[in-house]
């Protein structure tokens, strides 16, 4: 709650006010190729009819970055939906301002750096399902709001993308209750992180579609139908790859725990490089770290290169590219 309260206070005092016609800082100075309508060319391709656009407020990126990463990897409520995550331009600027540590406590300011790094690396690697509103888009949007404060600018972004993609559901995720109220009054669905999790779980266990997550269907041309099938194929492939990744993590986690206990007994939790619960990358990093002392004794030492290759694969954009390439191959065989 400290993050929400400090950001809300800073916005109300206009400590974070920025000029959308000027950019500054490492992240917000990135060039973005634009299409004729001003959308980012490589990042904002037309989503399929069943896609969800999830707009993030600054407080979500600061407080729940791990949750956002999990949504991109595994979808909402474990594959209910793989939403497109949208970062408003004003949020990028606020993060840039916050990393300088001005007017806010250090406990809030230091949270901006990991968020900035994550957004930067994702955009740089041109990974799917993360978009950024461009400076040009932010400067041209109004939609009945004067943009006198950053809350309004976040809402302008939501309304702009509702207009750009009327066939898609759009949700604003923010822990700021007042911004949620403003969003409701402007016709924008808004949830806190906790409420978003709850709604996603309800949708997962419901046999009826919820308008909160999917827009109403509209007639398709044959071309639109083909695009929809292609997008569904990509989502299906992503889901299968996620399951494969989870299976690999579970197996290697068991191996890691058994062998660490065999060497260090009850002290293994104090010794292990990264503490559980583990992601797949955590497990691989632990195998690498303890290879000489532990795993090199029970596995051929030359197998270390396989671990290094897996780490490089899952850390790089190759993982995403292979997944998408497989999806294209499956589609071409139909």
Sequence spans of domains, the chain: 2-204, 222-332
Q: What is the mean pLDDT of residues 45-74?
A: 83
> How is residue 222 written in tokens?
């044959």
> What's the CA gap between 295 and 259, in Å, rounded?
7
> What's the CA gap between 139 and 147, in Å, rounded?
10
Q: What is the mean pLDDT of residues 213-217?
A: 47
> What's the CA gap between 160 and 152, in Å, rounded?
12
Split at pLDDT 50, 70, 90, the class of 13 is low
Query: DSSP per residue over 215-244, as a string?
Result: PPP----HHHHHHHHHHHHHHHHHHHHHHH
pLDDT in tens, 122-177: 999 888 889 999 999 988 866 666 667 899 999 999 999 999 999 899 999 999 99
- 50, 80 contact by CB (below 8 A): no
- Stated pTM of the model: 0.58
Number of C-alpha atoms within 13 angstroms, CB side, residue 6?
19
Ramachandran quadrant class, 139 (left: phi over 0; alpha: psi -120 to 50; beta: rest): alpha
- pLDDT computed for residue 220 by the predictor: 44
Query: Has residue 318 got a pLDDT over 60?
Result: no
- pLDDT computed for residue 317 by the predictor: 54
3-state DSSP assignment of residue 40: strand
Distances (CA, A) of 197 to 25, 26, 77, 178, 228: 33, 32, 7, 20, 26
> How is residue 299 written in tokens?
């596995």
Residue among 97, 290, 81 nearest 171 (CA):
81
> What's the CA gap between 85 and 88, in Å, rounded?
10
Residue among 42, 54, 98, 73 nearest 213 (CA):
54
CB atoms near residue 122 (< 10 Å): 21
Query: Has residue 58 got a pLDDT over 70?
Result: yes
Distances (CA, A) of 35 to 39, 159, 224, 305, 319: 6, 19, 20, 43, 27
Q: Of the spans 90-94, 143-147, 330-334, which averages the highest pLDDT?
A: 90-94
> What's the CA gap between 86 and 66, in Å, rounded?
16
Weakest mean pLDDT among 23-37, 65-79, 106-120, 270-284: 23-37
Split at pLDDT 50, 70, 90, the class of 23 is very low
> How is residue 307 written in tokens?
């671990």
CA Rg value for the chain: 22
Q: Which residues contact 48 (CB under 8 A, 6 or more apart)?
A: 227, 228, 230, 231, 232
CATH, domain range 2-204: 3.40.50.1010
Q: Of the spans 75-79, 92-96, 213-217, which averages the highest pLDDT?
A: 92-96
Average pLDDT taken over every residue of the chain: 78
- 129, 238 contact by CB (below 8 A): no
Query: Has residue 323 got a pLDDT over 60?
Result: no
Split at pLDDT 50, 70, 90, the class of 75 is confident
Weakest mean pLDDT among 13-22, 314-323, 325-334: 325-334
H helical segments located in 44-149: 58-63, 65-74, 89-99, 106-109, 112-124, 135-140
């Amino acid at each position: 709650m400290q993050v929400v309260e400090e950001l809300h206070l800073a916005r109300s005092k206009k400590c974070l006010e920025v000029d959308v016609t000027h950019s500054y800082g490492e992240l917000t100075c990135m060039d973005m190729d634009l299409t004729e309508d001003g959308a980012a060319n490589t990042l904002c391709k037309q989503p399929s009819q069943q896609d969800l656009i999830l707009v993030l407020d600054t407080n979500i990126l600061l407080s729940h970055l791990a949750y956002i990463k999990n949504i991109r990897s595994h979808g909402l409520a474990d594959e209910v939906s793989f939403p497109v995550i949208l970062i408003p331009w004003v949020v990028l600027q606020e993060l840039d301002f916050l990393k300088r540590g001005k007017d806010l406590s250090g406990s809030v300011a230091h949270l901006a750096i990991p968020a900035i790094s994550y957004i930067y690396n994702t955009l740089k690697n041109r990974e799917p399902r993360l978009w950024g509103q461009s400076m040009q888009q932010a400067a041209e949007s109004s939609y009945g709001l004067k943009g006198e404060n950053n809350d309004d600018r976040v809402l302008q972004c939501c309304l702009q993308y509702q207009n750009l993609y009327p066939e898609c559901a759009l949700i604003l995720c923010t822990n700021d209750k007042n911004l949620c109220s403003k969003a409701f009054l402007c016709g924008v669905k808004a949830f806190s992180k906790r409420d978003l999790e709850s709604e996603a779980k309800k949708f997962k266990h419901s046999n009826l579609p919820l308008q909160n997550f999917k827009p109403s269907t509209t007639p398709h041309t044959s071309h639109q139908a083909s695009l929809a099938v292609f997008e569904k194929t990509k989502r299906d492939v992503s889901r299968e790859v996620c399951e494969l990744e989870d299976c690999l993590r579970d197996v290697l986690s068991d191996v890691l725990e058994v062998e660490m206990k065999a060497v260090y007994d009850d002290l293994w939790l104090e010794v292990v490089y990264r503490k559980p619960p583990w992601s797949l990358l955590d497990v691989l990093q632990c195998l690498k770290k303890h290879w000489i002392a532990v795993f090199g004794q029970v596995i051929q030492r030359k197998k270390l290169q396989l671990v290094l290759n897996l780490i490089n694969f899952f850390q790089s954009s190759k993982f995403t590219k292979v997944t998408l390439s497989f999806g294209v191959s499956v589609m071409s065989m139909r």
